[in-house]
Structure 1
Amino acid sequence: MLSFKQAFLEVEKFIAEADFSGNPTELYDPISYSMNLGGKRVRPATLLMVADIFEANKLDALHAAMGVEVFHNFTLVHDDIMDEAPLRRGQDTVYKKWNRDIAILSGDVMFVKAVDYFLKLQPAEKMGRVLRVFNKTAAEVCDGQQMDMNFETTEEVSIPQYLRMIELKTAVLLAASLKIGAIIGKASEEDADNIYEFGKNVGIAFQLQDDYLDAYADPRSFGKRVGGDIIANKKTYLLLEAMNLANEEQKLELKSCLDGELSDDDKVNRVKAVYDQLKIPQLSQLKMKTYFDRGMEALTKVNVAQEKKQPLMDIAEELMYRNI
């Protein structure tokens, strides 16, 4: 049984040994740069863990894990272009270090390279199943990104719409990574589907946790400014739930904060005061737990020994309850 730490180190080693070089160098250097910026490697590492549970070929598992991680980093390169973000993991983004056009093209090549890794899988029947999961997921991630962009200019966003957006933008890639790990092993179709449901629901819970931590994390351990989503008027679960539950006075206060010319600290403090009145932190954690428990229930249905599933449960709980 692989622990998350063991799987993480295997992914890091495989990335370090990968050759992304090519000509023209302006096109390929950003790929190596992006892949070596670091990160939690949650998706490829958990893919390796699932593949190990279902006794997959080790090299197949590493190729699939690399395909997932290259695709994930492709989405980050393009996200940074859309957001005009200068930093990623404390370093210049590809968009900032080179330029917009190079970042677009390098990202495009990363997508191709992700598919190339999946094409290494054997036998062909499993490769085909994996590619069908990957292609569906890649389109869904783009759907989720477009929904998120649409929300910026949409006056009314419902909570079900928001939950669907984070499912597509964030959760399905984790879910697909786990399912791919099951497919390349000896998992039944039912077990592969249940492992997907585990990843999807836990992925939604993780994103809800991020929404919560952005407003309520300990600033000393959070790693970025607390309240960034509030400052940016981002439609998070917390804000949408607050607008649903607020009375007229509270709605006016929230709208005044969102539309007014306040200092960042004043804006964050006033919005959080309304959240506290409405018990939004507690409701947010309850919603997180609902999805997390749903994911854990799906994992219990996977037909392997409990000790084999325990490392997945452990890392899910570790990520879920970070910095609360």
Structure 2
Amino acid sequence: MINEKALEEIRDTLEKHILQLNFEGEPKELYEPISYLMQLGGKRIRPLLALLSYGLFKDGYQKILTPAAAIEVFHNFTLMHDDIMDNAPIRRGRQTVHEKWDDNTAILSGDVMLVKAYEMLLEVETDKLHPALKLFSKTAAEVCEGQQLDMNFESLDQVSEEEYLNMIRLKTAVLLGFSLQLGAVLAGASESDALHLYDFGVNIGIGFQLKDDLLDVFADKEKFGKQVGGDILANKKTYLLIKAKELAAGKEKAALEQWLAAKEFDPAEKVKAVTAIYEQLEIREKTMNLMADFFEKGFNQLANIKVQKPEALQILWSLTRKLATREN
């Protein structure tokens, strides 16, 4: 399909640009972790969305490759610091920065990444620089707010559905919304169109996180590529667990509380037992319904945009639909 060919061309151009970014400096221990993390790959969804959004209104997405890549640098900054907070040993199949170097180096390298992201955004055209930086700063603060809420949830017995959805909106979804909004702003789109794209990104971002929650429990092990049931083992307050705690009664409630309180257990047995409780409470169906609602809200926003390049809208639509139906 021509859409797939066009998308791959944009993706390849973006990847080459990111891999050519220069993060060298002294002391090398500060800068080497940045290059290491940036070269581990990833889907590059956020900068890709910025380029596709720009393409809805104007040709020549190559003009904004560096500002788009700034979003990826910022995203990886958050991952570098998140890995420290989560004590995660592996990122994209390789050692995390704090494991390969140490915590202090990872903190400082992450700080430099945030500075680099701002530096890269300075390549925006002068008349669009102020709104771009203002939107980015707001988004960066919101991502940190979401991460703090996620950490707060670890020590809370009860988290409501509304609180959880707000947390993932901040931690995950607003950066997708910003990516699309930035592309539109840099292309000179109307404020209305830029906001519709932002809302599109936020809604599908929440849908994507709900999809991740679902896959962690119900994914095909062969396709998922990582441990199924990791959230269950960690008692992570995902939408599935929050809904199960809300709905469970009688024997199901007692069993769920017993597994949540257990300090010693067989991992496979816990995953199997909690998954069975989810099945009895129809948690999979409820999660899928909520996820579908957010995807629908998101895609409805696209109908309100006055695009200049309908073929570019088809590429954006196809990409996000594919992500929404992924199995890993």
- Which band: TM-score by shorter chain? over 0.9
Which residues of 2 match residues 3-82 of structure 1 at below 5 A?
3-55=6-58, 58-82=61-85
Provide the C-alpha distance between the structure 2 equivalents of 1:243 and 1:158, rounded to a whole number of angstroms: 10
Which residues of 2 match residues 190-269 of structure 1 at below 5 A?
190-260=192-262, 261-269=264-272
Report the Cα offset of residue 307 of structure 1. Answer: 3.1
Provide the C-alpha distance between the structure 2 equivalents of 1:321 and 1:59, rounded to a whole number of angstroms: 29
> Retained in 2: the 8 A contact 1:60–1:120?
no
Report the Cα offset of residue 275 of structure 1. Answer: 0.7
3-state SS in 1 of match to 2:144: helix
Provide the C-alpha distance between the structure 2 equivalents of 1:3 and 1:163, rounded to a whole number of angstroms: 34
The answer on 1:310 being equivalent to 2:314 is: yes
The answer on 1:83 being equivalent to 2:86 is: yes
Report the Cα offset of residue 51 of structure 1. Answer: 1.0
Question: Which residue identity does 2:319 align to in structure 1?
Answer: I
Name segments (4+ residues, structure 1) moved above 3 Å: 1-4, 56-60
Report the Cα offset of residue 58 of structure 1. Answer: 3.6
Using structure 1 for the length normalisation, give the TM-score.
Answer: 0.97
Report the Cα offset of residue 82 of structure 1. Answer: 0.9
Report the Cα offset of residue 45 of structure 1. Answer: 0.9
Question: Which residue identity does 2:116 align to in structure 1?
Answer: K
Equivalent residue, structure 2, for 1:116: 119
Report the Cα offset of residue 199 of structure 1. Answer: 0.3
3-state SS in 2 of match to 1:235: coil
> Retained in 1: the 8 A contact 2:52–2:312?
no
Report the Cα offset of residue 3 of structure 1. Answer: 3.9
The answer on 1:98 being equivalent to 2:94 is: no
Extract unaligned runs of 5+ from structure 1.
none
3-state SS in 2 of match to 1:257: helix
Equivalent pairs counted in the alignment come to 323
Report the Cα offset of residue 11 of structure 1. Answer: 1.4
Q: Structure 1 residues 137, 211: closer, same or farther in 2, change over 3 A?
A: same
Report the Cα offset of residue 59 of structure 1. Answer: 4.5
Give the one of 258, 273, 290 matched to 1:287: 290
Provide the C-alpha distance between the structure 2 equivalents of 1:5 and 1:231, rounded to a whole number of angstroms: 37
Report the Cα offset of residue 306 of structure 1. Answer: 4.1
Moved more, 270-279 or 190-199: 270-279
Give the one of 270, 274, 287 matched to 2:277: 274
Provide the C-alpha distance between the structure 1 equivalents of 2:189 and 2:25, rounded to a whole number of angstroms: 37
- Identity among equivalent pairs (%): 48
Which residues of 2 match residues 139-218 of structure 1 at below 5 A?
139-218=141-220
3-state SS in 1 of match to 2:23: coil
Provide the C-alpha distance between the structure 2 equivalents of 1:56 and 1:307, rounded to a whole number of angstroms: 12
Provide, for residues 75-97 of structure 1, a one-character-per-residue CA deviation record: whole Å limited to 9, x for no partner. 01101111111111011111111
Task: Please provide the CA RMSD for this pair.
Answer: 1.4
Using structure 2 for the length normalisation, give the TM-score.
Answer: 0.96
Give the one of 125, 128, 143 matched to 1:126: 128
Provide the C-alpha distance between the structure 2 equivalents of 1:179 and 1:233, rounded to a whole number of angstroms: 35
Equivalent residue, structure 2, for 1:322: 326
Moved more, 104-113 or 260-269: 260-269
Provide the C-alpha distance between the structure 1 equivalents of 2:80 and 2:8, rounded to a whole number of angstroms: 26
Provide the C-alpha distance between the structure 2 equivalents of 1:104 and 1:88, rounded to a whole number of angstroms: 16
Moved more, 248-257 or 210-219: 248-257
Question: Which residue identity does 1:280 align to in structure 2?
Answer: I
Provide, for residues 200-257 of structure 1, a one-character-per-residue CA deviation record: whole Å limited to 9, x for no partner. 0000000000000000000001010100000000000011111111113211111111
